Amino acid sequence: MTDELNYLRVDRGEMCAQGAQILRWRGPDGRDVLFVSRESRFEKGKPIRGGIPVIFPWFGEDPRGVGKAHGVVRRRDWKLRDKETDLAAGRITMEIADSDKTRKEWDHAFRLRLAVEFGDELRMVVTAENRGDAPWPFEFSLHTYLAVADVTKIAITGLEGATFVDNLQGGARQIQGAEPVRIRGESERFFHRTDAKVVVDDPAWGRRIEIEKRGLPSTLIWHPGREKAAEMSDFGADEWDKMVCVEPAAVREDAITLAPGARHEMSVVIRTCAL
């Protein structure tokens, strides 16, 4: 890691000014809950593979073909809100607003604020604000990489009965049955119109991870699979089974439109307990 990314460290975790990206949070058992690849590039302007990247205002490739993947805030420095930050208490608040550089990629006036509490639970509150004179839609994701002992043995519950789009099956729309979601290879599923709590049972570590959210109507499940992970330069080939992305989000048909002067608040709580 390089100091140029401006790391902020508290007793239970760590984040950096670039992207306001959370890199580490330890649960009550002292074990890391977030995965960060050992091959990640901790370089200015480069995305970090793991933790919780903030994705805004589009998810994936820019549909207009103008900006970089995953939006305009992931690779840029956010500002620390000193009055709302107490490192000793594990509280950090950061924000970013539009600039000449962001407007070259996305010509709208905005402000994002992220407040994080590192404690027995990881609490995140994001506020998106339209500071312009016209409405605009946006997509958003807290692109959460969870650390697991063996991804082939985990069970993801809470999405039973939800409609999802399988991006690896040509965008086929399906309904999740009563069975848990299990990872058997490369996975990319977008669950829509669900505010349910999602639970990841990790029997090999005897741990359960719970994710609760508000203001985020999508849940994304992503895993590169063994073969794709081996082709990724910022992902260790033998790390493929040590993570899964379970992302509170608002994407595609769940995109949010903000009126001029309006704000939208999104919150996520992650907690762990023994199985």
Return the structure tokens found at 189: 């599923």
Task: Give me 247's structure tokens.
Answer: 């992302």
How confident is the model at residue 41, as a pLDDT? Answer: 86
Q: Which two tokens stand for residue 64?
A: 């207009």
φ, ψ of residue 51 in degrees (nearest 5): 70, -135
- Among 235, 247, 58, 251, which residue's Cα sits nearest to residue 171? 251
Provide the β-strand partners of residue 21.
16
pTM score over 0.85: yes
Give all domains of the chain, ordered by start, each with its CATH number.
3-274 (2.70.98.10)
Q: What is the pLDDT of residues 68-126, one digit of tens each?
A: 999 999 999 999 999 999 999 999 999 999 999 999 999 999 999 999 999 999 999 99
Cα–Cα dist 130/31, whole Å: 38
CB 74 within 8 A of CB 47: yes
Residues lower than pLDDT 70 in the chain? 1-3
Give start and end residues of each alpha helix (H) in 67-202.
Answer: 100-105
pLDDT for the residue numbered 269: 98
Residue 251 C-beta-side C-alpha neighbours within 13 Å: 26
The residue type at 20: A
Q: Specify whether the CB–CB gap between 14 and 50 falls below 8 A.
A: no
Q: Look at the block and give the residue holding tokens 């339209």.
A: 130
Q: Percent helix, strand, coil in the chain (nearest 5)? A: 15, 45, 40
